[in-house]
Amino acid sequence: MDMDAFYASVEQRDRPELQGKPVIVGADPKQGRGRGVVAACSYEARRFGVRSALPISKAYRLCPQGIYLPVRMERYVEVSHRIMSLLGEYTDLVEPLSIDEAFLDVTGSLRPYGTVEALARSIKQRVREQEQLAASVGAAPNKFIAKIASDLQKPDGLVIVPPEAVLAFLHPLPIGKLWGVGPKAEAHLKELGIEKIGDLARLRREEMDRRFGKHGQHLWELAHGIDDRPVVTEHEIKSVGHETTFERDTGDLALLRETLLSLSEQVGVRLRRHGLKGRAVSVKLRYQDFTTFTRQVTLAEPTAAAARIHSHARELLDKFPHSPLEKKVRLIGVSVGHLEERQKGLFEKQEDKEEKIEGAVDRVQEKFGPGSLRRASHLKDSPEKAR
Amino acid sequence: MEFTVKKNEILKELGYVQGVVEKKNTIPILSNLLLEAAGSNLTIMATDLDVSIRCSCPAKVKSSGALTVSARKVFDIVRSLPDESEISFKLADKEWMAVSSGPSRFKVVGMHKDNFPVIPEYSGRKWTVPGEVFRNMVSRTIFAITQEESRYSLNGALLVVNADGLRLVTTDGHRLAYIEKRLKVEGLEGEFRVLVPRKTLAELAKLAGDPNRMVQFAKDENHLYFHVDGRYMVSRQLAGQFPNYEMVIPKDNDKKLLLETEGFAEAIRRAAIMADERSHGIKLSLSEGQLVVTSSTSDLGEARESVQISYDGQPMEVGFNAQYLLDFLGVAFDKQVSFQLKDDETQGLLQPATEEDYQYSYVVMPMKL
């Protein structure tokens, strides 16, 4: 969700006589001699060519009849807080990106609305009702696409990009829309004949790696619509996770489950070492075609016990859109989020027991090495059994 | 429908119903009030399907009738009119409600009353308790109710009523508040236990607010019914199992401190300034004659406060969430509190030191620092 011309719209809302007029919020123009820049401007002002970050003196030359107002940051923050808390009614997973933009993970909040579109319309309508302000919403399978979508039909926009339409949506867009492509990189890419995002996507991954290194690979992934960064709220920036890429893409369910177990154990060890417990277990799968999905479950009691992490992770494995049998898996990961402070619980006796056992295992392994004590199900690959 | 009411009389009732009105706006009619004019009364009803309330105030009724209108708008309109004004409501065409007072005119879009949920009625046996008892018990326990909606059975308080009195218990899994009032509940045989939603408690505390009000209450299988001074509130009971709270109230905490309530709270408040902003963790270090409260955040700094106490036991250190301790100290209503500890893993027990009217205990789990 991205508010339209936020500062200027708040001013126009607070002072109705400014509606329909070019409003420019920023430094004092001092009849064209002012220093400083435009912080924001209304859509009416944009028609004169005024843009945010433009020197205020230049803005004044373009639009001398504009209404120039000082930045009332406290007021905008206050309105922003109200909007963010309204967004919080749709999902717990709200990640404010700036004062007037936020990512929402609505995966678990769709049911009352039925469709993404209905939910998106509800957000726009409630922001309008509550604040008399317009918001643009972009909905997509990941943050990168959603951000572009929110920007595309401003003001008062609503763009929904379903998973199957991601590439068709992305590829015709100019290369400059790609995150991480600034003016310099844009010029460089254009020299190579890459004008559109689709042009970049047609290059081979190795080619991008060779030319631009790690950043090139990242751009290549974005150009293929791959962006698996989760929506993180301020309170759960931290999560503990482990992932592994298979040497060969696999469709072997038993191998996936086993890998989940060892990943869960690594996560559990790290959680306990830091005295943390988490309330959300998530599993990530990247398929052979690089499409990536995550599935998450929230627990009633926070945990640091590998046994519990693993049992939830195993259940999550069944909730992915494609069975590994039909689409092989390249990478699998487990992470535990919604980490709790080191507060102990009053009713955690049962939980304590599992953690105590695993704590004892940790200590044995610290003393005698990582392979010294292990689950029977792991014995399959062990040298003892091979003998 | 057409009637006139005095601003002050309707405003008071609107204030009571406002808290019940559904905030999430999922079903439009739940953001509305049902207004019913008949005889010489205006009846105002609101519900969110879990909690429902009915209030009334005197009205000059020209013609009786009913309509639902936006609770928020009616409240804002009434509140904005001058005190002492008379306000007229008249049903206009197409289920609009015309509201007027002096030179002010409003038209509020309404919805037909047939879609408004029916509020369950109860006319059986009721028990009576002074309102102040409910209010007191609620204000000293409600803060420990969990904020997490997923923990359904902790989303309210356990209310236990028997012939000897009332008990209210709340917990969020980290701390637990327990309060008991001994009094005769006339006509009650045996004992009942119900889970009361947080919202019901909050609204009940408001209804029971004025001194000398009596609360009449009753229960059946699924609902709780409250009558307070002509106002009627019905609440669904929460389903589920409340945890075994008796088990977690510590019995053998051997390190006993007697602390000045305000002095202790001040020390915690200051120490908490440098505590981690997420965990609010502070450390209590106990040694002969002294309690030291400290906190530190690696990239911000540290704080240290000392409080003189009479203590001659073993030294010990234990961490707590500062906010959890302050929540209790703010409603201890006693000059001194007792704090019983055992070690850095066992829950602490806080109690007002001299209060006799209520048995009030607060159990709080330590934090690993």
Same domain, B231 and B149: yes
- DSSP class per residue in B196-210: EEHHHHHHHHHHT-S
Please, what is the end-to-end C-alpha distance for chain B in angstroms?
Answer: 65
Query: CB distance from A356 to chain B under 8 Å?
Result: no
Same domain, B262 and B323: yes
Using pLDDT thresholds of 50, 70 and 90, give the confidence band for residue A323: confident
Please tell me the distance in Å from A337's CA to the nearest CA on chain B.
Answer: 15
Query: CB distance from A342 to chain B under 8 Å?
Result: yes
Query: CB distance from A235 to chain B under 8 Å?
Result: yes
Q: Is residue A101 part of a domain?
A: yes
pLDDT tens track for A327-367: 899 889 999 988 875 777 788 654 556 666 777 777 777 66
Same domain, A249 and A353: yes
Pick the closest to residue B281 from B367, B172, B343, B174 (CA basis): B367
- Judged by CB atoms closer than 8 Å, whether chains meet at A345 and B367 is answered as no
Same domain, A185 and A287: no
Domain's final residue, options A71, A89, A111: A71
- Judged by CB atoms closer than 8 Å, whether chains meet at B24 and A300 is answered as no
Domain's final residue, options B115, B150, B170: B115
Provide the phi-psi class of B218: left if phi over 0, else alpha when psi is between -120 and 50, else beta: beta
**Which residues face B258 on adjacent strands?**
B338
Give the per-residue pLDDT at A364: 74
Task: Count the neighbouring beta carbons within 10 Å of the beta carbon of residue B118.
Answer: 8
Distance CA B238, CA B217 (A): 17
Inter-chain CB pairs, A–B, below 8 Å: 50
Same domain, B264 and B197: no
Same domain, A381 and A245: yes
| Interface mutation target, options B342, B350, B368, chain A, most CBs of A under 10 Å | B368
Query: Dihedral through CA A136, CA A140, CA A142, CA A143, nearest 10?
Result: -10
Does residue A52 surpass a pLDDT of 70? yes
pLDDT tens track for B88-135: 999 988 889 999 999 999 999 998 888 899 898 888 888 999 999 999
Same domain, A381 and A295: yes
Picking from A89, A301, A346, the nearest residue to B176 by CB comes out as A346
Distance CA B102, CA B85 (A): 8
Query: CB distance from A111 to chain B under 8 Å?
Result: no
Using pLDDT thresholds of 50, 70 and 90, give the confidence band for residue A240: confident
Where chain B has pLDDT below 50, the residues are 150
Structural domain boundaries, residue A200:
171-223
Domain's final residue, options A196, A223, A250: A223
pLDDT tens track for A128-180: 999 999 999 999 999 999 999 999 999 999 999 999 999 999 999 999 888 87
Is A17 an annotated catalytic residue? no
Distance CA A146, CA A104 (A): 10
Domain's final residue, options B219, B245, B271: B245
The ipTM estimated for the assembled molecules is 0.71
Distance CA B273, CA B302 (A): 9
Phi then psi for residue B28, to 5 deg, are -50, -40
**Local structure of residue B119 (DSSP, 8 states):** P
Interface of B with A (CB under 8 A): 24-26, 150-151, 171, 173-176, 243-244, 248, 276, 278-281, 319, 321, 345, 347, 363, 365-369
- Domain at B28, CATH number: 3.10.150.10
**Which residues face B349 on adjacent strands?**
B340, B363
Same domain, A86 and A65: no
Residue B39 CA to its chain's centroid (Å): 34
Which residues of A are less than 8 Å from B345 in CB distance? 344
Q: Is residue B122 part of a domain?
A: no
Same domain, A249 and A378: yes
Same domain, A278 and A359: yes
* H-only helix segments in chain A: 6-14, 43-46, 56-62, 73-87, 116-131, 143-152, 166-170, 183-191, 197-202, 205-223, 253-273, 306-317, 349-368, 383-386
Identity of the residue numbered A5: A
- Judged by CB atoms closer than 8 Å, whether chains meet at A89 and B369 is answered as no
- Which residue of chain A has the CA closest to B278? A341
Residue B62 CA to its chain's centroid (Å): 39
Q: What share of chain A is helix, strand, coil (3-state, %, to 5)?
A: 45, 20, 35
Higher pLDDT, A229 or B64: B64
Structural domain boundaries, residue B269:
249-364
Catalytic residue among A11, A95, A101, A236: A101
What is the number of structural domains in chain B?
A: 3
- Domain at A123, CATH number: 3.30.70.270
Same domain, B25 and B40: yes
Does residue A193 surpass a pLDDT of 50? yes
Same domain, A204 and A97: no
Which residues of B are less than 8 Å from A275 in CB distance? 368
As a residue count, chain A comes to: 387
What is the number of structural domains in chain A?
A: 4
- Judged by CB atoms closer than 8 Å, whether chains meet at A346 and B347 is answered as yes
Picking from B171, B248, B367, the nearest residue to A342 by CB comes out as B367
Distance CA B47, CA A340 (A): 35
pTM higher than the cut 0.90: no
